[in-house]
Structure 1
């Protein structure tokens, strides 16, 4: 039964059926949902959002549209040994020798590729030798699409370089051009740049740089990126549109364990990820065991938030590595780094770091309102160390930026929190039945004090698999409970957001992709039922049932400003146990 106010004329009813086929004994069970649409409580405008972490190659080889993997030849393994993978030779050791040396022309990058060509002209195998890059498990090249190719070159002699996009075996050319670099001082680097229009489609292509001129040359910072990216800001279109369709009100970034690193030297440091892409040194993502060039850096995350119409939530390193394995000897340096990061985002263009943002063609400040002090350190054995560090960040941020809301990752109840915070973080990964039951987790939470930020949740393990209806059903019940407790739960987002099929470090995930395709798991589509929750009116409901199966339901009302009409959305979910 639904009572509608005068202008509330539309009803949308959404329901998941039971995962298992109902037995004869429960077919006569009935349920009646009474919705009082005459009044209610408004859900926070910021309620529903997304969380991006560099995990499962979500950004490098995913959301970030750069096609070249290890573009600066800077990639290192865990033991710091150089690793030019996935670059490979075209030719053999009798015609070409490839190595790396510390001759890069960029201040924050040291390594360049040294290529010594031993053959000349017709003596070279198939006419030319060089190197190729297959990208992240194949480059997706589409007919008619234009790709911007950039690389830096130096040589004592003039060089003719063939730049091409080809099939994975190099036998079929999709696009090609020849570039000539004049002879010059060996210390001078030349920026080589060209546009290639693909004549064929191939989702498993590669980029080739070849020559037939005998001599020595150095190559550095190679990039291949389609001109057509999401809002022209470098993001892959299909993946960006999938997250835009969730209508997120906020974007939490960049992690996750990616923030702290297993070793502190491998933590995400925002200053290394801004400015010209050629100058970014990249770093080893030891939390998830792969190299990232940091093309998708702090600035790009802020830009993506703006493009999505979402508020950025910046999670910064607090001087501790993952799970408290390592602590900085001087925390004040990390405090200063956090303050400067805020200045970069919202500072006046005349300020030190605001001017760096302005130089990146964004003089207008970003709408940064929330920052989080680390990720999960308070869950570790080093909880006391986190609590010792935390006030140093909180006090200084409130001193210089009193309007910025600070998030602690201690998920203790409000009554147990022993430090000031605007919100506190809550993470949960569990089986479907348990998460469904957690719909009541915040029923008795104190209604005064800091609000809850449920920044990571998902059904995991056997129930989650690589994405399942059972997982989505468990998550649905949990989200209904968060809606009903939205007076104390301010924000919620699922994790992880993306997984590349070639690097499943964590399962399940919301969006699965490869170089040219993507699909949403049931957990992704479940989130669509909640896209209109933010800012809506939560209505009072009463569920009358003789069913032995727990059922959760909610109803929201939302005004459509275009036609000034009110819509009701009712969600009903049976237990997955």
Structure 2
């Protein structure tokens, strides 16, 4: 009898309604309207082979192996008919081109085929723009252009007859239309006739790019970003900012101006991981700083560029530029602000204007250094800080606290950066779901008068970091959602936050987990993506008090919660995570308002903790919505096991 009574009492305790007190008058922080953003790095074929819509791989033959991605075929092809020429003296940024010789070649007997980036995504009835930079030495060669499906069948044709034979370089374009949809197509040039011609910048773009811009971005991938309504875009990295060595660091000045003049370099992630070698991974910089700024503007986000601080990746060579040679790096930072914001009469403002954007990009943030650490980093930051604040005091500077959110390196940098009274400290944390759950109070005791925090890179990892074992399942997303209640609760300290990495190609990734996965035709958001979206779309204007048993709600009994009000829309917004295997009944008691509408929304996510999204099932784990009722200023609701909820009610504040 005693055992039965014990079980019944235990069950009654478990069934008790959990009560939360929300005080809309107890404002804790003003929420930055750009708080929730995205971090773009060219990793996992995120740029070339991803959002940059170019379909031709190695279009200018500048890879380490000049014909990587290309295949010469045909019974009329002989050794020496295609040569790689290096014109280093004439065009140092893009020195290589192909010299093609043909002698009475019939169509199909001499071909050059490009494999694309793990194939080419081709869409039925869509036009594709082909362009080429050519010079005729002996006229008479015709270029027959073919789109191929995965089996080699022709699904689109075009023709280009070079128009100029004056011995100078010219650009010529034409279009092809695909008659079928193909995930892993290819592109072939079939030479015909007799002659000799030089070819460079062989390019193929879909015409349905973002905003229909020629040579632009994949519309579906940009739309994924736009749907998040991000407050900012941090770019271009990440470790590619640092480079394996300083010679392969990201140099923004080499990514602006004419695309054909941008100097290709190897991608930092090319051979970083033995388990995911990607030797054909390079940066063409077709997506350069101008395009990043433009994309940010397009989707209503602030640009947050990160520049090299004079240090290469400390996991690789750890090269540093001598202090007496740091001026070039500092000048790059000063010139970037001028490029973004300067008048068209300034040197770099004119470059921006000449590219098509005379108006300022209104740059407000600038980061110096990515995951750098140690006294050598601080020594260099002081120089950047002095120069930038002297000339552009209005630009907020972001400095890194290293690779980890704790430990000796972090403690050293955190102290030094606070002593320097920097604007914003960039914290990174790739940790287990358990860490995220245990650190929901991380920012509760941060100095309110010190530097603001940018959670610049974070993700819950289901396995060991930097291994292929990590997956974007509901467990990791819910852990992140739980942690982020603490970031939102402390919005006076945490002013910016972005998940990392952003994109990954299903056939070309190096690092996992990632927020958005793509192939050559499709995209899908992970469960983690939808958590980011829920925070971004439901942020409110001010964080207010939410407690249970007079304590903040940060993990006790598996509950995590934050509350905000939106003074623009007159709404109460409460986010609650139930990180528990049991269903729970809750009660929200809301004070500090005049009236609460009697119906509201419960936007929620719930699934098996191992559930994932995929190309065939992109919405397997995604938000749902249902009506929830209020009685007076009290809301009663049910939380499913392992669920996350956003409750929204109109109110008279």
Q: What range describes the TM-score normalised by the shorter chain of this pair? A: 0.7 to 0.9
CA distance in 1, matches of 2:130, 2:364: 37
Query: Does residue 1:68 correspond to 2:43, yes or no?
Result: no
What runs of 5+ residues in structure 1 fail to find an aligned partner? 1-22, 77-81
CA distance in 2, matches of 1:317, 1:54: 15
CA distance in 2, matches of 1:48, 1:223: 36
**Counterpart in the other structure of 1:475:** 480
**The one of 218, 237, 249 aligned to 2:231:** 249
Using the size of structure 1 for normalisation, the TM-score is 0.88
**Counterpart in the other structure of 2:524:** 519
Query: Does residue 1:146 correspond to 2:146, yes or no?
Result: no
- Per-residue CA deviations over 1:150-204 (Å, capped at 9, x if unaligned) read 111123221211123222343323232232344333xx22212112233332222
Determine if contact 2:157/2:177 at 8 Å carries over to the other structure. Answer: yes
What's the C-alpha RMSD, in Å, of the aligned pairs? 2.4
Kindly tell me: are residues 471 and 26 of structure 1, through their superposed partners in 2, closer, same or farther at Cα, counting changes over 3 Å?
A: farther
CA distance in 2, matches of 1:454, 1:298: 22
Determine if contact 1:349/1:358 at 8 Å carries over to the other structure. Answer: yes
**C-alpha deviation, 1:38, in angstroms:** 4.0
Kindly tell me: are residues 516 and 466 of structure 1, through their superposed partners in 2, closer, same or farther at Cα, counting changes over 3 Å?
A: same
Superposition map of 1:166-565 within 5 A = 166-185=148-167, 188-233=168-213, 234-289=216-271, 290-323=281-314, 325-329=318-322, 330-378=325-373, 383-410=374-401, 412=411, 417-462=418-463, 465-534=470-539, 536-544=541-549, 549-559=557-567, 565=569
Kindly tell me: are residues 252 and 354 of structure 1, through their superposed partners in 2, closer, same or farther at Cα, counting changes over 3 Å?
A: same
CA distance in 2, matches of 1:142, 1:401: 47
**C-alpha deviation, 1:537, in angstroms:** 2.0
Kindly tell me: are residues 116 and 407 of structure 1, through their superposed partners in 2, closer, same or farther at Cα, counting changes over 3 Å?
A: same
**Counterpart in the other structure of 1:49:** 37
CA distance in 1, matches of 2:442, 2:230: 24
Question: SS of 2:21's equivalent?
Answer: strand
Superposition map of 1:72-87 within 5 A = 72-76=60-64, 82-87=65-70
CA distance in 2, matches of 1:143, 1:425: 45
**C-alpha deviation, 1:92, in angstroms:** 5.3
- Per-residue CA deviations over 1:342-398 (Å, capped at 9, x if unaligned) read 1111111111111111110101110211001110112xxxx1111111111111111
**The one of 133, 136, 142 aligned to 1:155:** 136
Determine if contact 1:414/1:446 at 8 Å carries over to the other structure. Answer: no
Determine if contact 1:46/1:535 at 8 Å carries over to the other structure. Answer: no
Kindly tell me: are residues 129 and 183 of structure 1, through their superposed partners in 2, closer, same or farther at Cα, counting changes over 3 Å?
A: same
**C-alpha deviation, 1:30, in angstroms:** 3.6
CA distance in 2, matches of 1:422, 1:288: 34
Kindly tell me: are residues 232 and 391 of structure 1, through their superposed partners in 2, closer, same or farther at Cα, counting changes over 3 Å?
A: farther
Between stretches 25-34 and 316-325, larger displacement belongs to 25-34
**Counterpart in the other structure of 2:18:** 31
Question: SS of 2:157's equivalent?
Answer: strand
Determine if contact 2:135/2:197 at 8 Å carries over to the other structure. Answer: yes
**C-alpha deviation, 1:206, in angstroms:** 1.7
What runs of 5+ residues in structure 2 fail to find an aligned partner? 1-9, 272-280, 402-409, 582-653
Between stretches 490-499 and 24-33, larger displacement belongs to 24-33
CA distance in 2, matches of 1:305, 1:205: 31
Q: How many residues align?
A: 536
**Counterpart in the other structure of 1:101:** 85
Query: Does residue 1:570 correspond to 2:574, yes or no?
Result: yes
Determine if contact 2:146/2:154 at 8 Å carries over to the other structure. Answer: no
CA distance in 1, matches of 2:162, 2:122: 25
Determine if contact 1:70/1:292 at 8 Å carries over to the other structure. Answer: no
Question: SS of 1:527's equivalent?
Answer: helix
**C-alpha deviation, 1:227, in angstroms:** 2.2
CA distance in 1, matches of 2:270, 2:39: 16
- Per-residue CA deviations over 1:104-148 (Å, capped at 9, x if unaligned) read 76452111122333x5234xxx64412121211121121222222
Determine if contact 1:249/1:534 at 8 Å carries over to the other structure. Answer: no
CA distance in 2, matches of 1:128, 1:362: 46
Kindly tell me: are residues 95 and 385 of structure 1, through their superposed partners in 2, closer, same or farther at Cα, counting changes over 3 Å?
A: same
CA distance in 2, matches of 1:244, 1:576: 33
